[in-house]
Amino acid sequence: MRLRIHRGTREIGGTCIELESEGARILLDLGLPLNASDLASTPLPNVDGLSTVSGSLLGIVLSHGHRDHCGLVPKVSPTIPLIMGKATESIIRAAADFVPDTVALNASHYLEHRKPIQIGPFTVTPRLVDHSGFDAYAMEITSGGKRIFYSGDLRAHGRKHKLFDALISDPPRNIDLMLMEGSSLGRLSDDETFPSEEDLEGTFVTRFEQTEGIALVACSAQNIDRVVTIYRAAKRTGRSLIIDAYAAEVLKAAERESIPQPAPGWSNLAVYIPQRQRVQLKSKGIAALVDGYRSFRIWPGQLAGSAPARSCCFGGG
C-alpha cells in the first residue's frame, strides 16, 4: 500500500489523502482549504479520476461533514462512489438548502462504528470519535499486509469524550503508519486544557443569569454538541432557546431523539425565521419546509416582550 498526501500537511483544512494498493485507489477526504475564496475558483488536487472516469479510483471516504474535509466533493464526477456516515449525509443534505456552495451528497455505503467495509483491496474500519462535527470517524485501513490509522478530526473534551477514552484504552493494533490531525497542537501550554462542554454549560448558566434581556450566542448550527450545551444552560436558567430554520433542519437531520429539535417532547425551544431566510426558502420553492414545526414558531412581534426569558443561538454553517 502506498499513499500520497495532496493537502493538509502545511495548513489546517483542505485534507486529501490518496491510498493505492494492487492498482486500486481510494481517497480519504476531499476538503476545501480554509483559505479558499470560493468553491468555483479552487482547483481539485491532481488526482487521476476526479473529473474524468478512471476505473482505478474506487471511492472517496469522508471522515465527517466539515467543509475542510468534504467541501470539494461537489466538483468531482458524480460517478465516484462516496462513503460517509448516515448522519453526515443527512446533515449535508439539510445544509444544502441554506449554505452556499453546499450540495446534497448521496452515499453509496455508510460508515458505522467498528463495522468493516470492503472497498476493492482496502478494508476500512471506522471508529466513531468525539468532534465538533457530528458523526465524525477515525479509520483503520488495511491492504496488502499493511495497516494505516487515520485520525480524521478528533478531540477529548466534547460531549462524546468517552469515545476518545475508548480509543486510548483500546487502540488499533499493529499499525504501520498513523496519520494524525494536529490543528490544536501548540495552542496550550503543558498545564492547560480546553474547557469541556460541561464546563461551558456552567459558564453559559452564569452568563444567562447575569443577562437581563435576551442572551445572544454565536454558534455554528452544525456544532451540535454546543447547541445541546446552550439548550441545557437555557433550560437550567428558565429560558428557552431560539434557533432558525437552518439550525432546526440540522438538528432534525442528526436523527437522534436525545438532541433538542422542534419535535414533540422538547419544551424550551422556539424557531424564529429571519426575513432573509424566509425569502431564501421561498425563492427555492421550499417554504413548506418549516410547516413541520409551525407550533414552535416565534414571530418578530413576540421577541421584545419575551426577551428576558430567551436565549438565541445564531451563526453560520
CATH number at residue 137: 3.60.15.10
pTM of the model: 0.93
* Domain shared by 24 and 126, yes or no: yes
* Domain shared by 214 and 263, yes or no: yes
* Domain shared by 213 and 174, yes or no: no
Percentages of the chain per state (helix, strand, coil), in multiples of 5:
30, 25, 45
Q: Name the residue among 164, 59, 179, 167 with its Cα closest to residue 108.
A: 59
* Domain shared by 40 and 173, yes or no: yes
- pLDDT tens profile 197-220: 999 999 999 999 999 999 999 999
* Domain shared by 157 and 218, yes or no: no
Average pLDDT over residues 143-158: 96
Average pLDDT over residues 264-291: 93
Given this model, what pLDDT does residue 316 score? 67
Range of the domain at 39: 2-179
92 grid coordinates: 449535508
- Asked whether residue 139 carries a pLDDT value surpassing 90, the answer given is yes
- Asked whether residue 314 carries a pLDDT value surpassing 80, the answer given is no
- CA separation for the pair 142, 148 (Å, rounded): 6
- Asked whether residue 12 carries a pLDDT value surpassing 90, the answer given is no
Given this model, what pLDDT does residue 310 score? 84
Given this model, what pLDDT does residue 317 score? 65
* Domain shared by 118 and 213, yes or no: no
Q: Name the residue among 151, 155, 153 with its Cα closest to residue 178.
A: 151
Contact (Cβ atoms closer than 8 angstroms) between residue 110 and residue 116: no
Cα–Cα distances in Å, from 142 out to 60, 108, 116, 125, 147?
Answer: 16, 20, 10, 9, 4
- Asked whether residue 125 carries a pLDDT value surpassing 90, the answer given is yes
Q: Is residue 187 part of a domain?
A: no
- pLDDT tens profile 215-255: 999 999 999 999 999 999 999 999 999 999 999 999 999 99
- Asked whether residue 71 carries a pLDDT value surpassing 80, the answer given is yes
* Domain shared by 168 and 201, yes or no: no
- CA separation for the pair 159, 236 (Å, rounded): 18
Average pLDDT over residues 72-91: 97
pLDDT > 70: what percent of the chain? 99
- Asked whether residue 38 carries a pLDDT value surpassing 70, the answer given is yes
Q: Name the residue among 212, 127, 134 with its Cα closest to residue 173.
A: 127
Cα–Cα distances in Å, from 311 out to 217, 235, 303?
Answer: 7, 10, 11
Average pLDDT over residues 286-291: 92
- What mean pLDDT value characterizes the chain? 94
* Domain shared by 26 and 148, yes or no: yes
* Domain shared by 9 and 151, yes or no: yes
- Asked whether residue 260 carries a pLDDT value surpassing 80, the answer given is yes
Split into its structural domains, the chain has a count of: 2
Given this model, what pLDDT does residue 76 score? 97
Average pLDDT over residues 24-38: 94
- Asked whether residue 185 carries a pLDDT value surpassing 80, the answer given is no
* Domain shared by 105 and 76, yes or no: yes
- Asked whether residue 186 carries a pLDDT value surpassing 90, the answer given is no
* Domain shared by 143 and 109, yes or no: yes
